[in-house]
Chain A
Amino acid sequence: MKKGKILVVDDEVNITQILEFSIGSEGFEVLTAQNGEEAIEKARREQPDLIILDIMMPKIDGYEACRILKANPLTKNIPVVLLTAKGRDIDKRLGMEVGATDYIVKPFSPNKLVERIHQLLSCHK
């Protein structure tokens, strides 16, 4: 039995690949998406338990994708963790404003990310 379904969104294939590996080896089912549009589509269809969302992406960026997810009744309750290379306070605040649950700054430790996923999922349930 899988622990839960996680959607990982980043345009850097290297990042989605490593997260797929490390989150997957913790017993989660991992879905990936390369951009904002694909993420919104997959979230609606697959109803993941949590979304890890990169901010700097082509076309629809992470903020915008988050806003769209939160505006849709189908996806608004899925917790979103923003992943970004920007570490400034204003970026964090902006993340919270669009409805993100948490915020992780790149470069990050995959172990800590997995820990955070565990925490968030147990809170949420």
Chain B
Amino acid sequence: MLRDIVQRFSGKSAELVEGARTADCPGAACDPDPLLARLSRMSGMILADAPLQEIYAAILRAIADDCGAELVALRIAKPGGDVFEMKAEFGLESALPNVHRSFPVSRDTLLGLCARGERFGPGFAVGMHEMEGERENPVPPGVAWRGEKIFIVRIEENGQPAGFFTVGFFDGVPGAHAASVLKCFADQVLLVLQKDRARELLREKERLLAVCREELDSVNQLKTNFLSVVSHELRTPLTSVKAYTETLLDNADSIKRETLQDFLRVMDEETERLIKLVDNILNFSRMETGHLKVEKVSCNLNRMIEEAHGALQQKFLSAGVNAEIKLPRHPCRIDADRELIAQLLQNLMSNAVKFTPRGGRVTVTLEEEAAAARIIVQDTGKGIPEDQLEKIFERFYQVDTSNTREYGGSGLGLAICKNIVDWHDGKIWVENVKDSGAKFVVLLPMKDIIVRQAASAGPIGSRRFERERYLMLLVEMLAEFLQARKASIMLLEKDQQVLRVLAAKGLDLEFVQNTRLEVGDRIAGKVVQTGEPLHVFDIESESEYGRANNALFYGTHSFISAPLKDGDEIVGVLNVSDHIEGREFSRADRELLEALGGIIAGMLKKLDAYEKVSANFERLKDAMRAILDVREAWGSRHLIDLTLIALTMGKRLDLDERSLTALRLGMNLYDLGLMRIPRNIRVKREELSPKERAVLREHPNIGFALTSPMGLEDRIMRMVRSHHEHFDGTGYPDGLAGDEIPIEARIVSVVDTLRALMSEGPYRRIYSLEEARAEIARGAGTLFDPRVVKVFASALEALGARDEKHELILDTFEKELEQERNERKRKLDALQRETAKEAVR
């Protein structure tokens, strides 16, 4: 019984009491009630803000002493209240040796134990057999119990457990005294917790305050800049107006008619300039202060670019600058504020005109990518000094340079552009084009990615947000790779054998939340059942999968569904539909989707494992961002063409299916390390310094490190690492030579050289396809594997590669698609004839 335990531990208790006395009461006169002494000591510690750990330790010791407990543990809820973590324990080491001390207890376990326990005073007496019945036993199996009962006392805050004491061991239920002592200490712990939380809140507030102060400082700086700009920019046209008016007044009688007209024209122009400036300032201040109302409607960017061009026609004419507008065949639509986008386009285009000399050209290009619309405004002016590429979007930037005086303007135009793009969650940057001016690039996202919210409480708070961000990146990647307007990842829920959408792009929220497909049901269900991908080339002619059959593909005419495979196990389905170019998905697309199935299954598995360690999680997301960055920088379409060249080469080299799959994926990943190299080195026009070159040469290693948490196949990893090795061993990073360099990397090395030569690079002009081909041929045997160079030439030939204004065009791409169309049609016709015959019979 309890008394025995007390006796067993009386020696120890006496020691402790003695210790406490000598520590607290150096004098002889001591408090007669030890409990009271302990409580007052505790209050003292709490008041004096002693470290939490010390307070907890003192509380546990006091409980052990006063209740005669062998073991006392304190667990406190982590933020969110789902898991209780061990904060302090007393006697655990001697009572239960070899027990991992800090195992957490879930909320469900705690509630279960209490429900089964016997209510006693403030707590619950739980029998040993109850403990053993728990799956998440607070004490691991194999531990010998000396007592019969363990006592659990919850520390409650607003009716919810904020923590609990585990006190052991008792042969029966603990006495009333022990119960009230525990209740008393539970309150003390709650007090400590609340105080700690308040302190943390205060600290958080202080941090916020510091951030606010910083922001205020920068706003102040902005105000100063603003005043100086306004004073200069407003005064200049005002000066003209004032001077001309006064002169006119003085000479009203004598002035000649032409002079009068000339003067009035100047006054009119300068007044116009003032009006524009005031408009700009007002607009800008609305954006800066967040008072702007952004009304997003569906915008046809093709039309808006044409309209902006129309509005600026006069400006182009009088500046003697030609305009070239390149739009995709199909209209590209995004959800955006029409007025703001119109202003963005006009600002960028008139800015380009301003900096282009007479006879030059401004080219506006619109490209649609799966996740974003890309607008490029390129001029043939003198470009922007490399060190200012990132600064020119700052407000009033041009003011302190001589630019204002040379080109006019408030220095607000680009800052307004940046603001507009920010309001649309897009990106804007500028780069120099070799030998010809600046290139402004705007990416406006078509943001319609939804991650399904699980009904039960999943991961909490910021972690859930992180998880969502990650899944969004995955879907974005899927859509980007396949150039699909709609894409979704569906997972098989193990217990119910039901497919549910995990995350999707371009689909209705309701559909994402509520869709449940059984195995064998509809398209996705069939794919899970058979384990084979389903590729519908044209839904009109393949009526078995008619529109009514699957809402997932509503409004589409071509789609692919491929299984998500974790090894041999099917864990879900990937779906893509609606190619952004409005074309059918090809065989090559299907093969890519199948290959992605493997990667994405692996990454989802990692997600669960990595979620517990945020550092890993962060690294995985970094890798995904880098993958998307490469596509952003090079353009998805360009990558598809390069991949096609690499695959054709691979086939001509008789590579096996696994190698081809590695190439297919690796071509999309190999240069992601490059995206972590500072932009000013990556796109520098002048020759690189030795130090800069060393930084640049790090990129295969960086890429390798970035991709390593993704758990990719070795062949792909080696493409990332070894695509800058030279055949003669003079390359980097490992100085491999000949066959030591994996064949996939040798192929990438050639294709990447083609890409690099035909685009911007340090200290050289852009090569034409012919020049690039000749340059690569010269490298056969030294830089490149001669065999690979040979198939490279024949692959270009076979693909009908040609060069249109330094842009690579592959003729076969369309041809192959056409061929596939015909093939499908033939098959279908045959099938119809067959069924017709059968019907006759």
The reply to whether chain A is a binding partner of chain B is yes
Chain A interface residues toward B at CB < 8 A: 11-12, 14-15, 17-19, 21-22, 25, 56-59, 61, 85-87, 106-111
CB pair A86–B232 under 8 Å, yes or no, is yes
Contacts of A85 in B (CB 8 A): 231-232, 235-236, 239
Contact call A17/B231, Cβ cutoff below 8 A: no
Q: Identify the closest chain B residue to A57 (Cβ).
A: B405
Pair B235/A110 contact, Cβ less than 8 Å: no
Cβ of A11: which chain B residues have Cβ within 8 Å of it? 405-406
Bound together, the chains give a CA A24 to CA B403 distance in angstroms of 31
Can you offer 22 A-B residue contacts whose CB atoms are under 8 A? Answer: A12-B240, A14-B266, A17-B266, A18-B266, A21-B259, A22-B243, A56-B404, A58-B406, A61-B402, A85-B235, A85-B236, A85-B239, A86-B228, A86-B232, A106-B238, A107-B235, A107-B241, A107-B242, A107-B243, A108-B243, A109-B242, A111-B246
Residues on A with beta carbons closer than 8 Å to the beta carbon of B240:
12, 14-15, 18
- Given the known A-B contacts A22-B243, A85-B232, are A14 and B404 also in contact in the complex, defined by CB atoms under 8 Å? no
Instruction: Quote the shortest CB–CB distance from A24 to chain B (angstroms).
Output: 11
Determine the chain A residues whose CB is within 8 A of the CB of B510 once the complex forms: none
Name the distance in Å between B298's Cβ and chain A's nearest Cβ.
44
Q: How far is the CA of A59 from the CA of B404 in the complex (A)?
A: 11
* Complex-state Cα separation, A110 to B242, whole angstroms: 9
A108 touches B247 (CB 8 A): no
| Inter-chain pairs besides A85-B231, A107-B241, 19 sampled, C-beta below 8 Å | A12-B240, A14-B269, A15-B240, A18-B243, A18-B266, A19-B243, A22-B250, A56-B404, A57-B402, A57-B405, A58-B402, A58-B406, A86-B228, A86-B232, A106-B235, A106-B236, A107-B243, A109-B242, A110-B246
Chain A residues contacting B545 (CB-CB under 8 Å) are: none
* A21-B247, A22-B247, A61-B402 known; A87-B242 Cβ under 8 A: no
Closest 10 CB pairs of A and B: A85-B235, A58-B402, A107-B242, A107-B239, A106-B239, A58-B406, A58-B405, A85-B232, A14-B240, A18-B243
Residues of chain A with a CB closer than 8 A to B243's CB: 15, 18-19, 22, 107-110
Q: Are A12 and B236 in contact (CB under 8 A)?
A: yes
Contact with A along B270-281 (1 / 0, CB 8 A): 100000000000
Given contacts A18-B244, A110-B243, contact A59 B236 (CB under 8 A): no
Residues of B within 8 A of A108 (CB): 239, 242-243
Say how far A113's CB is from chain B's closest CB, in angstroms: 9
Docked pose: A58 CA to B241 CA in angstroms: 22
Return chain B residues, CB-CB under 8 Å to A111. 246, 250
Give the docked Cα–Cα distance between A61 and B246 (Å): 27
User: How long is the Cα–Cα vector from A14 to B266 in the complex, in angstroms?
Assistant: 7
Residues of the B chain whose Cβ atoms lie less than 8 Å from the Cβ of A109 = 242-243, 246
1/0 contact string of B375-416 vs chain A (CB within 8 Å): 000000000000000000000000000111110000000000
* Complexed CA–CA distance, A109 and B240 (Å): 10
Residue in A closest to B405 when the chains form the complex, CB atoms = A58
Q: With A12-B236, A106-B236, A108-B239 as given contacts, are A18 and B405 in contact (CB-CB < 8 Å)?
A: no
Query: What is the distance, in angstroms, from A75's C-beta to the closest C-beta of chain B?
Result: 23
- Please give the residue numbers on chain B whose beta carbons come within 8 Å of chain A beta carbons, in ascending order: 228, 231-232, 235-236, 238-244, 246-247, 250-251, 259, 263, 266, 269-270, 402-406
State A87–B231 Cα separation when bound (angstroms): 8
B399: nearest chain-A partner, CB-CB: A56
CB distance from B158 to the nearest CB of A (A): 60
Task: Give the complex CA separation of A17 and B263 in angstroms.
Answer: 10
A14, A21, A57, A87: the one contacting B270 at CB < 8 Å is A14
- Closest CB of chain B to A94's CB: distance in Å? 14
Closest A-chain residue to B240, C-beta based? A14
Distance in Å: Cβ of B120 to nearest Cβ of chain A: 81
A87 to B241, CA, bound (A): 18
Q: With a CB–CB cut-off of 8 A, which chain B residues contact A110?
A: 243, 246-247, 250
Interface class of chain A by DSSP: loop
- On whether the beta carbons of B239 and A15 are closer than 8 Å, the reply is yes
Give Cα A12–Cα B235 distance, bound, in whole angstroms. Answer: 12
Once the chains bind, are B231 and A86 in contact (CB under 8 Å)?
yes
Q: What's the minimum C-beta distance from A115 to chain B, rounded to whole angstroms?
A: 13
Please measure, in the bound complex, the distance between the C-alpha atom of A87 and the C-alpha atom of B239, giving whole angstroms.
13
How far, in angstroms, from A86 to B228 measured CA to CA in the complex? Answer: 8
Q: For the complex, what is the distance from the CA of A17 to the CA of B259, rounded to whole Å?
A: 11
For A22, the closest partner residue in chain B by CB is B247
- Residues of B contacting A107 with CB < 8 Å? 235, 238-239, 241-243
A110 CA / B59 CA spacing, docked (Å): 87
Whether A25 touches B251, Cβ cut-off 8 Å, given contacts A56-B404, A58-B406, A110-B246, is yes
Interchain nearest-CB distance for B404 vs A (Å): 7
A15-B240, A15-B243, A18-B247 known; A59 and B402 CB under 8 Å? yes
CB distance from A81 to the nearest CB of B (A): 15
Chain A residues, CB < 8 A from B239: 12, 15, 85, 106-108
Q: In the complex, which residues of chain A have a beta carbon less than 8 angstroms from the beta carbon of B251? A: 25
CA distance A59 to B401 in the complex (A): 9
Q: Closest CB-CB distance, B748 to chain A, in whole Å?
A: 48
Task: Tell me the bound Cα distance from A87 to B269 in angstroms.
Answer: 24
- State A14–B263 Cα separation when bound (angstroms): 9
Q: How far is the CB of B258 from chain A (nearest CB, A)?
A: 12
| Smallest CB gap from A105: residue in B | B235
B232 proximity list for chain A (CB < 8 A): 56, 85-86
Residue ID in chain A nearest B232 by CB atoms: A85
Chain B residues within 8 Å of A61, by CB: 402
Q: CA–CA, A13 to B235, complex, Å?
A: 15
Inter-chain CA distance A106–B238, complex, in Å, is 8
Chain A residues near B404: list those with CB within 8 A: 56
Rounded to whole angstroms, the CA-CA distance of A95 and B468 in the bound complex is: 60
A14: nearest residue on chain B (CB-CB)?
B240
A87 to B478, CA, bound (A): 59
Complex: A15 Cα to B251 Cα, angstroms: 17
Residue of B nearest to A54 (CB): B405
Find the residue from B228, B243, B266 having the highest chain A CB count within 10 A: B243
CB distance from B54 to the nearest CB of A (A): 59
CB distance from A123 to the nearest CB of B (A): 24
Q: Compute how far the CA of A19 lies from the CA of B247 in the bound complex, rounded to whole angstroms.
A: 9
How far, in whole Å, are A18 and B242 apart by their CA atoms in the complex? 10
Closest to B270 in A: A14
Which residues on the B side are within 8 Å of A12 (C-beta)? 236, 239-240
Chain A, Cβ-Cβ closest to B228: A86
- CB B411 to nearest CB in A, in angstroms, measures 13
Contact of A56 among B241, B242, B263, B405 (CB under 8 A): B405
- In the bound complex, what is the Cα–Cα distance between A18 and B247 (angstroms)? 8
Question: Inside 8 A of B250's CB, which chain A residues have their CB?
Answer: 22, 110-111
User: What is the CA–CA distance of A109 and B269 in the complex, to the nearest angstrom?
Assistant: 20
A109 CA / B270 CA spacing, docked (Å): 17
How far is it, in angstroms, between the C-alpha of A108 and the C-alpha of B244 when the chains are bound?
Answer: 11
Residue of B nearest to A61 (CB): B402
Complex alpha-carbon distance, A110 and B403, angstroms: 27
Q: How far is the CA of A56 from the CA of B399 in the complex (A)?
A: 10
Give Cα A102 to B251, complex, Å.
Answer: 27
Q: Which residues of B contact A15 (CB under 8 A)?
A: 239-240, 243
Distance in Å from the Cβ of A27 to the closest Cβ of chain B? 14
Chain B positions within 8 Å of A18 at CB level? 240, 243-244, 247, 263, 266
Report the minimum CB–CB distance from B471 to chain A (whole Å): 52
A64 to B247, CA, bound (A): 30
Could you tell me the distance in whole angstroms from the C-beta of A68 to the nearest C-beta in chain B?
Answer: 16
- Report the bound CA distance from A22 to B228 in whole Å: 29
User: With a CB–CB cut-off of 8 A, which chain A residues contact B242?
Assistant: 107-109
Question: Measured between C-beta atoms, what is the minimum distance from A62 to chain B in Å?
Answer: 10
B263, closest chain A residue (CB): A18
